[in-house]
Amino acid sequence: MKPEIKIALRYIFSKHQFNFITIINFLSLIGITIGVASLIIVLSIFNAFQTIAIDQIVGFDPHIIINKTSDEELKSTIRKISNIQTVAAVEEMRIVSLSNNTARVVNFLSIDTSDKDYLENIRSSMIMGTVTNYGISNIPKILIGAALADALHVLVGDTINLTTAKDIEASLIGMTIPHFERVVVSGIYKSNIKDYDYNYIFSLYKIFINNQPSHLSKYYIKLHNLNKIDKTVSQIKEIYPELEIQTWKDLNKEYYGVMKFEKMATTFVLGLILLVAIFNVFASLVMTVLEKKKDIAILRAIGAADQSIRKIYFFDGAIIGLIGSVAGGLLGLFMCYLQTEYKIFSIDASKYILDAIPVEVHLIDVFMTVIFSMLLSFIVTIYPSYRASKLSIVESLREE
């Protein structure tokens, strides 16, 4: 073992005395460990909640939306891109739904029958009925959200009347009865997303209310790998540069921005704990230099070079940072493992969609947190080690 490391270890883990500086070193070590572990745990929790939130959103939102053009080959061309899972031609319009003397304005999405696979994404959220139970009779079938079903007081098999605001306005002006399209509820889903559960109706039937086709015609696209969405958009743009393309991030820009901001803000606040612990390392090194003036003077007197003196105090802080960072990383991973396997921190599953606080460890987060902590520990050793190497032998011995 190098003499510099041996001396640094003696300063940190003194066998013969337990003074104030030793306490500061110990507290610094504990602080770094807790700081790193806390960052890893919190980042893992945020990763899990973000994944759950995205799954909830994109489970119903299309990953990519394209405003449809007159090019009939567009759908078949896009489907050839490897990451494309489904492409659905969608007619969208705002309608008024009426049932049991209750009216609600909702979004009606009519999906082309040949693209019925697109609705398979809703299957996991069905609580009543089925997704593909169409064609039982000539009456069009629809899927509605649980909140909308509750508001309209309907169940699977009940009928709803659909019309448009324009038709209602025309009937009021002309003193006539509005034209209603009668549909039957084929299934009820619950997405836990208020906007969808309350404001959306899906159907494989092209419904023309009062001979008015929908005014919005789009392609809704689902991907195999959501992480490659930017690459997929670029591939589509290469083929059709004139297309107007939106992604789920564009559709949920505010929500996605809030998630990112919350993660950044929490990381910053918890990072302050780590910075305080690192500052304690700096303070303990400065105090060690002042306390060990005599030792430094003797080392200089017997021929120790300035570089050797600097190494002693560099290793002093680096060892504390290294042990604390690695221990914090292991502690954070261990706590995440316990939560994943044994659900130590559980929550009421009857009120929430989860039975325990979720964690999702990203190794890049663990690696970056540990490296950042170690790097800061190394940086704060620069000034104390430099100051120690510049102490005067004569003045140090005279003060002692």
203-257 residue pLDDT tens: 887 665 555 544 557 899 999 988 899 999 999 999 888 888 999 888 888 877 8
| Host domain of residue 362 | 3-55+256-399
Q: Looking at the structure, do residues 87 and 30 belong to the same domain, yes or no?
A: no
* Beta strand pairing call for 200-203 and 102-111: parallel
Q: Looking at the structure, do residues 270 and 148 belong to the same domain, yes or no?
A: no
- Helix H or strand E encompassing 74: helix 74-79
Q: Looking at the structure, do residues 24 and 81 belong to the same domain, yes or no?
A: no
Q: Looking at the structure, do residues 305 and 361 belong to the same domain, yes or no?
A: yes
Could you tell me if 282 and 380 are in contact, meaning their C-beta atoms sit under 8 angstroms apart? yes
Domain end, chosen from 232, 248, 264, is at 248
For 311-360, the pLDDT digits (tens) are 998 999 999 999 999 999 999 999 999 999 998 999 887 777 788 999 99
The total of other beta-carbon atoms located within 10 Å of residue 11's CB is 21
Note the Cα 384 to chain centre separation in Å: 40
Rounded to two decimals, what is the model's pTM?
Answer: 0.78
Q: Looking at the structure, do residues 168 and 277 belong to the same domain, yes or no?
A: no
Total structural domains within the chain: 2
pLDDT at residue 135, rounded to an integer: 46
Nearest to 9 by CA among 379, 389, 318, 387: 318
φ and ψ at residue 209, rounded to 5 degrees: -80, 120
Q: Where are the beta strands (DSSP E) in the chain?
A: 64-67, 84-99, 102-111, 126-129, 141-145, 159-163, 181-189, 200-203, 216-223, 245-247
Enter the tokens of residue 390.
């510049």
Q: Looking at the structure, do residues 172 and 128 belong to the same domain, yes or no?
A: yes
Q: Looking at the structure, do residues 354 and 303 belong to the same domain, yes or no?
A: yes
Domain end, chosen from 197, 224, 248, is at 248
pLDDT at residue 371, rounded to an integer: 95
Query: Buried b vs exposed e over 357-390: b needs ≥16 C-beta within 10 Å?
Result: ebbbbeeebbeebbebbbebbeebbeebbebbbe
pLDDT at residue 208, rounded to an integer: 54
Q: Looking at the structure, do residues 163 and 284 belong to the same domain, yes or no?
A: no
pLDDT at residue 137, rounded to an integer: 63
Could you tell me if 66 and 245 are in contact, meaning their C-beta atoms sit under 8 angstroms apart? yes
Nearest to 377 by CA among 10, 8, 116, 99: 8
Q: Looking at the structure, do residues 127 and 189 belong to the same domain, yes or no?
A: yes
Low-confidence ranges of the chain (pLDDT < 50): 135, 213-214
Q: Looking at the structure, do residues 196 and 123 belong to the same domain, yes or no?
A: yes
Q: Looking at the structure, do residues 244 and 260 belong to the same domain, yes or no?
A: no
Q: Looking at the structure, do residues 344 and 379 belong to the same domain, yes or no?
A: yes
Domain end, chosen from 226, 248, 270, is at 248
